[in-house]
């Protein structure tokens, strides 16, 4: 009967050790959860980069295919105009706007 108690004690110790490794050891549930979180974060980052790459590829294709995109970019970024066109620049001047008078009692 004594060997049965020793065997039972050894099995309980083995079960405790296996549970510890499962929950806290290398490759345990915490490590798996951390890796899953990192994978999800990387997937979100990859999705954003794929969208950016698709937009850049569409812009490259547009620039290769026609002059409209080149003209649009020259107008917006470089301020170029065609011969015979008149360029107007609208400047928002703060001095022309009426300023609210301050309240003498200090209320907004």
**Quick check: is 35 in a domain?**
yes
DSSP letter (8 states) at residue 38: H
Instruction: Convert the pLDDT of each residue in 93-106 to its tens digit.
Output: 776 566 666 666 66
Q: Average pLDDT of 1-15?
A: 89
**Quick check: is 2 in a domain?**
no
pLDDT, position 102: 67
The answer to whether residues 29 and 36 touch, using CB atoms and an 8 Å cutoff, is no
Q: Tokens 């300023």 sit at which residue?
A: 99
**Quick check: is 99 in a domain?**
no
- How confident is the prediction for the chain on average, in pLDDT? 83
**Quick check: is 23 in a domain?**
no
Instruction: Convert the pLDDT of each residue in 56-69 to its tens digit.
Output: 998 888 778 878 77
What is each CA distance from 78 to 60, 70, 91, 100, in whole angstroms? 19, 11, 18, 38
pLDDT at 78 over 80: yes
Q: Which residue range forms the structural domain that includes residue 53?
A: 30-80
By the 10 Å C-beta count (0-12 exposed, 13-18 middle, 19+ buried), 38 is classed as: exposed
**Quick check: is 12 in a domain?**
no
Instruction: Convert the pLDDT of each residue in 34-59 to its tens digit.
Output: 899 999 999 999 999 999 999 999 88
Please state the domain count of the chain.
1
pLDDT, position 104: 66
The answer to whether residues 45 and 39 touch, using CB atoms and an 8 Å cutoff, is no
**Quick check: is 10 in a domain?**
no
**Quick check: is 54 in a domain?**
yes
Tokens at residue 75, please? 């107008």
Q: Average pLDDT of 12-26?
A: 83
By the 10 Å C-beta count (0-12 exposed, 13-18 middle, 19+ buried), 12 is classed as: exposed
């Amino acid at each position: 009967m004594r060997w049965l108690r020793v065997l039972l004690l050894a099995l309980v110790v083995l079960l405790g050790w296996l549970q510890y490794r499962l929950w806290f050891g290398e490759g345990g549930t915490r490590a798996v959860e951390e890796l899953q979180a990192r994978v999800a974060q990387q997937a979100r980052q990859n999705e954003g980069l794929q969208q950016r790459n698709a937009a850049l590829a569409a812009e490259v294709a547009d620039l290769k295919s026609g002059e409209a995109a080149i003209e649009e970019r020259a107008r917006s970024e470089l301020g170029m105009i065609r011969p015979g066109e008149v360029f107007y620049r609208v400047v928002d001047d703060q001095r022309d706007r009426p300023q609210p008078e301050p309240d003498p009692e200090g209320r907004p």
